[in-house]
Structure formats: structure tokens, C-alpha cells
Structure 1
Amino acid sequence: MTAPQATKTRKRPAPKVRDDLPAPQTPEGLLFHYTPAEAARWTPFSYRTLIDKIARREIDYVFNGRDNYLTGAQIVALTERLTVRPFTKAPARAAA
């Protein structure tokens, strides 16, 4: 009797990221379509987390019938929505 063979996990290739992408906050980048792997560079999420959030429809995205994309404007809106602003103390009101 022989020992059972260990199962092999399939290794997925790394996602392709294009070179020389415009930054999302630039005028040409606002309408540029980024793949989740490319958008992960400017968001607080990893590539896999972005894909999961798109699948659960937690964030806005563009679907072209086959692939999912994020525009630069959507990336900027996502990061602004998640940005924590510093607390500013309101001026004290005068007692009447």
C-alpha cells in the first residue's frame, strides 16, 4: 500500500500591467480604463480585493461585456471616499 499523492495547486500567472499609465487624477487619466491589477496601485486595496469587491458590486466599475475596468474618476472617487480627514474642532459657542 502506498501513501496518497499530495494534490497540486494550479499556479495562476501574474496579471499583466501596462507600462506608462497616466495617473488617475490627471486629465487624461480621468477617462482612462484601468484593469483591477493596474488600479490596485492607486487604491488601498490589493488586486484580488478589487476583483472581489467588483464581483460583490461594492464599488463602481465599467463592464464592457467581457472584462471589468475602473476609470480614473472612479479610482479618485474611491480613494476620496475612504480617506479619513483630520478632525477639526468647532469654535466654541458663546453662552447666552
Structure 2
Amino acid sequence: MTAPRDTKKVPEQGRYTPAPSTPEGELFHYKPDEAARYLPFSGRKLRELAYSREIPHVNNGNSVWFSGLNIRAISEQFTVQPLAADKRPAALAATA
């Protein structure tokens, strides 16, 4: 009798992934786990946000991908800008 065959999918090793900010990276398609390296979300959370259409992504049939431009747009989407001086609470405006 032989040992049962391992049916777990082996992750890709050594796949070249350029940074999203490079010209080559703008059009490169990242898997959610690869995109998670550049964003403050896990790969699973990125998939959930994409399925609920809360973030920009590329839908390739059954797969969700992120281009470098998508990653930059997501980063900008969750960037919080500081309040203008006239909109700050009085306690913060007095220290500025």
C-alpha cells in the first residue's frame, strides 16, 4: 500500500513581482496575497472587499487580481487627510 497523495496546492515559489510604484508594476496583476504586502490588509480581507465591490480590482472570471494602479488607488482611498486649521477643535488649534 502506498501513502496517500498530498492534495494540498503548493504555492508558487520565486514569482517575480515588481513594486506597484514602478512603471512595470502599474500594469502587473497581483494576487490578493501579493497585494497584501503593499497594503494594510490581509489577502483574505482584500478578497472580501473586492467581492463586495468596496475597492478597485480586476475580476478575471473566478479570480480577483489587483493591478499596481489598483493598489495605489486603494492606498489613496484609505488615506486620511489632516483637518484644515479652521476645522480643528479649539484645543488643537491653540497649540498650532
TM-score, normalization by structure 2: 0.68
Separation (CA, whole Å) in 2 of partners of 1:18 and 1:87: 44
Higher alpha-carbon Rg: 1
**Comparing 60-69 and 21-30, the one that deviates more:** 60-69
TM-score, normalization by structure 1: 0.68
2:89 is matched with none
Q: 1:20 aligns with which of 12, 16, 22?
A: 16
Native 8 Å contact 1:18 1:38 kept in 2: no
SS at match of 2:53: coil
Q: How many residue pairs are counted as aligned between the two chains?
A: 79
Distance 1:15 1:55, change over 3 A: farther
- Point out 4+ residue stretches in structure 1 off by more than 4 angstroms: 12-18
Gaps of 5+ in 2: 1-7, 87-96
Return the structure number with greater helix share. 2
Separation (CA, whole Å) in 1 of partners of 2:21 and 2:55: 18
